[in-house]
Structure 1
Amino acid sequence: MQLYTDAATTPDNQRSAAGILIIDQGQQHQFKQVLPDSDNHTAEFLAAIAGFKTLLDSYGPQVSVFFYTDSQIVAESVAKGYSKTFSVELATLLHLQDQCQLVITQWIAESDNHGAHQLAQQGLHLSD
């Protein structure tokens, strides 16, 4: 199973949204969700959290997942298990990941995260 997440934030008012793309046996499942207003880095963590909540709600615990993010701070924080600035968000994300059988986190270039990015952009317009 593959999970792609991305966040979009409007700089002038910090409105944020998440794009979540789950690929299960070749089938794509697309989700977009309004997030609390925040800066982009916080929104990336919140998008990852929303992605894992959606994954666990849809497929239950004990799934194995490749998690892809274009946020270096999310990928590095997960790898280290530490973040000074985003400790609360990281703890929530790691708790969700612990419910999975296996999680392999991979940073990818923004250009390789197009599906989740488009969904996040669409999510910004959900609260219009």
Structure 2
Amino acid sequence: MIEAYFDGASAGNPGPSGAGVFINANGQVERFCIPLPEMSNHEAEFHAFIAALEICLEKGYKTVSFRTDSELVNRAIEKEFVKNKAYAPLFEKALSLTNQFDLFFLKWIPSRENKNADELARKAIQQAK
């Protein structure tokens, strides 16, 4: 099974932001740094998730376990509901993408287990500045 780790980060809240996606495709590692415009950290987390979903779909990965340290994203997808309406468009887009997978899993992990994606997100912030 493919494992995709993602993280969003902002330098300020809001501030220049970035998304990091780290994919382990059966031992083959892929890394993505995605610079984002100025936004909040929570928005960056949703953008990182959407990027991870889109990358996996583009590569034809249809059975994927996604990993995040964002409790907000994890809870929103798990409950299929987002409380803050400001995140609703991002949530809806992410939810629609999850339906395109044959098997989709999302698991919350502690930050220490998401270091690769975090480093990529921070690198993307530097690219965004």
Q: TM-score, normalised by structure 1?
A: 0.93
Deviates more, 1:8-17 or 1:89-98: 8-17
**Aligned-pair distance for 1:127?**
2.9
Alpha-carbon separation, structure 1, partners of 2:107 and 2:88 = 20
Gaps of 5+ in 1: none
More strand by share: 2
Partner of 2:38: 37
Alpha-carbon separation, structure 2, partners of 1:9 and 1:66 = 25
Contact 2:13 2:39 in 1 (8 A): no
Deviations 1:47-77 (A, max 9, x none): 10011111111226xx111010000000000
Partner of 1:97: 98
Secondary structure of the structure 2 residue equivalent to 1:55: helix
Partner of 1:46: 47
Alpha-carbon separation, structure 1, partners of 2:31 and 2:69 = 17
Alpha-carbon separation, structure 1, partners of 2:38 and 2:10 = 8
Q: Pairwise CA RMSD of aligned residues?
A: 1.3
**Aligned-pair distance for 1:13?**
5.7
Pair 1:115–1:88, CA change in 2 (3 A): same
Alpha-carbon separation, structure 2, partners of 1:24 and 1:74 = 23
Contact 2:20 2:32 in 1 (8 A): yes
Equivalent pairs, count: 126
Amino acid at match of 1:15: P
Partner of 2:77: 78
Alpha-carbon separation, structure 1, partners of 2:128 and 2:109 = 28
Percent identity reads 31
Alpha-carbon separation, structure 2, partners of 1:82 and 1:13 = 23
Pair 1:15–1:95, CA change in 2 (3 A): same
Amino acid at match of 1:107: W
